[in-house]
Structure 1
């Protein structure tokens, strides 16, 4: 007798989507484990100044649960957090959730045909085990903060904040602030910090491609129209999705066939930079030397102008160490600071994929296997040797630009899979090694068309790449292809027992 039918690790949008699908199928004995103190995933953890989604609100939501009341075309973080709470309440998911509990490990018991999951309170305490017929990991792609490997970072005597652990109580007004990192998070954060700092130094290792952001407040009459006639919001979603797919996804994933689109996106970003930054040397430093899309690009109208301000400095000389009072660069110059902000992103490949130890059949360690023999998962969902296991943040799973495209494709996959399990009156499923290998071969073949293989990416330092140098995060097909594939994959590729 198991404790639960399904254990889901993670109460973000991915985990909630899986729970919604399972409840549609009649599963009620669910447990959703969340290490944080509330639901929402990244939209609960992150609350740094300037936080907003960089995908239009009409697209960044479940298609089956549209929100007609978005206040902004690009929703702010608080709006996304409120939307997550709305979804949890409407679909009655909170009663399945436990907070402040982390998953330490999971192993498949082949005799009992269930998963044994070891958990522990985040605040400290004894470990416990829970069993479930099925295990699903929804720990997100960007869940493990990355700390910089810089000498002296722990010796800094001032205030240190990582963007993923923002402290709202820290007083930034009139302070000398140093920001390390210029990724998508920093692009949102830096303009807000600059408004409060007496002096701001931004330490950039790799510049980021930034294009204009067509953001605006959604008028009340439009919100009312979306609510009264939902078809209008679906049209807006479809139109925005088609534009994103045509310009951004095609330019990156179909680089070989549509290099002109990639060049056009880069030209747009360069023109945006020329319009907004006065100093030629600063523009040169802010211009990437890698192909558009090798590293995650972003949208902003106020990032570049920040570097026109007299109290803001862009530093591209490498950091050698951090002292108790400042940051020293390789030219020997030390800049005194009061607050150190780490916008250094997330660690995907050392502490994620998976985010905790998962041991399958015959003692196979998922993380070690991926790192030693290559990353793979059938349709970005299941792995041979791991029965009754669904990985919702897997190699080649991320489809399109909106994470909700990925979530809904995976929801449909598990709905078909669990439907077949029930029809066959079976207790276990496992994807065949042959089907998995065939899918991986198809992905690798399609990767040859992408900017990752065809473009100039050596200087990008992108989290898209594993430590071994492979770009396995994005599914190298169109969103339409992903939707078609999830309806067409043969259920016979699975073994049911």
Structure 2
């Protein structure tokens, strides 16, 4: 056996972390939670979160249109580590969710890691330095400055880059032109002739919220959609658990007595949360195409929608789908179907051919006079980054503009070392609460960073082979689901028959399980030293040094337990 004279033992104990700088882009739920997760999991690091808005909250700061709320039950749309028994309604309104996120930042001192009104303009990977070099703009001072990081975390999300519809003459409109995702503060629509384009998640909330106050409401609908009964109605009708019989509500609002009960009895509150959570998670079997439950669900929803539309054949034809339940995102759409039967509401399915100065022209040559034009037309869901991200394989903007967006386990991309995303392509964004989803992603990423810190790894990225295998599975699985059925959906980037780019091939629990362990064998590494075991160091472990318990493996003494 020959010795390697060029190899020298490191004098660092096993487990010693290398100092790293981490930059997160976005201070919505994902970015806020990442601050806390890193504080719990890592040591010897710097972390800054840049957000383009003047305040935290992401989606819930930006969206403020009338009726805006989450369509996931409020008591499940929260962090597991910051439960809020004081939610006022079954579905929390946007301003209440925004306040919840702001309160967390203040109470947990997370704001010290956040720089608002800062936009990342570009990110370029340096192979020689194993660093990301960033250009960042302070939008208040207009200063453009350089920054760097060892790990770049993209928490910008998917539903935040709103877009105008591609309609001739749209910019020629002389009335009030609005987008639901850019709603002007204190905008007055009362008594006006209003047109609303779109019946996605925003449109179905906006229409019933403004219908009673406008003079006329013309609702342009391009595609039908499945509308579910209010989930609390479905949940409480089942009475499968005795706790549900005791829940006190007035409409969709919890009574003060009920809120106090949640706050004073944590065990009771947790039981309620878990029952609701399990009902949400149990939706997945209904997305399996041609299953008995899928057929039953379609029949039941058809009956519900026809009854709610009062048997109006014109509305039924326009709104009740033929496609599979779940092909488009399911929504409770509280009050939406009922509002369409109001005397001041008209549903139009004709194609808009042109927008005039005060009119909308349709394919039937009709000209409809309006005062306000509201576009509830959604977001850019292509996953294409807003700014250049240049890695080993070029600019991610170009790669995903010219080809389908693909990410390993929705979080990383071959050729882009130390770059991780929240809710990237094929994440479970349509499966339930994003809060618990982002907690799992944050833990997954933090564990990877810790591995790099303590095992002398400078950079890592998934291999192309691993990504190809992952998408071979996705493409084989998706035809089993309603998501791949023929309908226009943002799950398929607004296409009718395109591949499903937005959803995970499995249940929410399936995705949580998948992320429990990091598959290091799927990654390509660059190390500090050629020898992969150099991190073993000088023979000592950090577990036996310092103030820790060096015999932790025997158990913890009560007198020393924290």
What TM-score, normalized by structure 2, do the two folds share? Answer: 0.82
Distance, in Å, in 1 between the alignment partners of 2:186 and 2:96 is 21
Name 2:410's counterpart in structure 1: 380
Q: Number of matched residues?
A: 485
- Give the distance between the partners of 2:394 and 2:423, measured in 1 at CA: 19
Secondary structure of 2:271's partner? helix
Matched, 1:227 2:266: no
On the 8 A contact 1:430/1:496 being kept in 2, the answer is: no
Q: C-alpha displacement at 1:320, in angstroms?
A: 0.6
Tell me the equivalent position of 1:430. Answer: 461
1:40 deviation in Å? 0.3
Q: Is the 8 A contact 1:135 1:388 kept in 2?
A: yes
Partner of 2:488: 461
1:45 partnered with 2:62: yes
Contact (CA 8 Å) 2:223, 2:318: kept in 1 or not?
no
Q: Distance in 1 between matches of 2:184 and 2:140?
A: 18
1:20 has 2:49 as partner: no
**What SS class does the counterpart of residue 389 from structure 2 fall into?**
strand
Q: Does 1:277 align with 2:309?
A: yes
SS in 1 for 2:490: coil
- State the match for 2:254 in structure 1: 218
* Partner residue in 2 for 1:483: 512
The aligned counterpart of 2:114 is 97
1:474 aligns with 2:503: yes
Pairs within 5 Å for 1:46-445: 46-122=63-139, 125-215=142-232, 216-247=252-283, 249-252=284-287, 254-255=288-289, 259-278=291-310, 279-349=312-382, 352-361=383-392, 363-398=393-428, 400-445=431-476
What is the alpha-carbon distance in structure 2 between the residues aligned to residue 286 and residue 243 of structure 1?
A: 26
CA contact (8 A) 2:177 2:374 kept: yes
SS at match of 1:63: coil
Gaps of 5+ in 1: none
C-alpha offsets along residues 229-256 of structure 1, whole Å, 9 cap, x if unaligned?
3233332222222212223x2222x335
RMSD of aligned residue pairs (Cα, Å): 2.1
Structure 1 residue 467: Cα displacement: 7.1
Where 2:74 maps in the other structure, the secondary structure is: coil
Deviations 1:153-201 (A, max 9, x none): 1011111110001113322111000111111111111011111111110
- With structure 1 as the length reference, what TM-score do the two structures score? 0.92
Q: Tell me how far apart the structure 1 counterparts of residues 172 and 413 of structure 2 sit (CA, whole Å).
A: 43
Whether the 8 Å contact between 1:137 and 1:393 is mirrored in structure 2 is: no
Contact 1:135 1:389 in 2 (8 A): yes
1:4 to partner: Cα distance: 7.6
CA distance in 2, matches of 1:243, 1:496: 44
**2:22 corresponds to 1:6:** yes
- Report SS of the residue matched to 2:24: strand
What's the offset of the Cα at 1:124? 7.7
Q: Is the 8 A contact 1:378 1:436 kept in 2?
A: yes
Residue 113 of structure 1, CA deviation: 1.4
Asked whether the 8 Å contact 2:227–2:333 carries over to 1, the reply is yes
Structure 2: stretches of 5+ with no match in the other structure: 1-18, 233-251, 528-562
Deviation at 1:27, TM superposition (A): 5.7
Task: State the Cα distance separating 1:336 from its structure 2 match.
Answer: 0.6
CA distance in 1, matches of 2:267, 2:396: 43
| Aligned equivalents of 2:365, 2:477: Cα separation in 1 | 46
| Superimposed CA distance per residue, residues 449-497 of structure 1 (whole angstroms, 9 cap, x where no aligned partner) | 21233x3x1xx22111137822121111112222222123433433252
Distance 1:228 1:127 in 2: 50
Preserved contact between residue 139 and residue 355 of structure 1 (Cα < 8 Å): no
Residues 85/331 of structure 1: CA separation in 2 closer, same or farther (3 Å cut): same
Q: How far off is 1:207 after superposition?
A: 2.0
Q: Is contact 1:48-1:166 (8 Å) kept? A: yes
Partner Cα distance (2:465, 2:30) in 1: 27
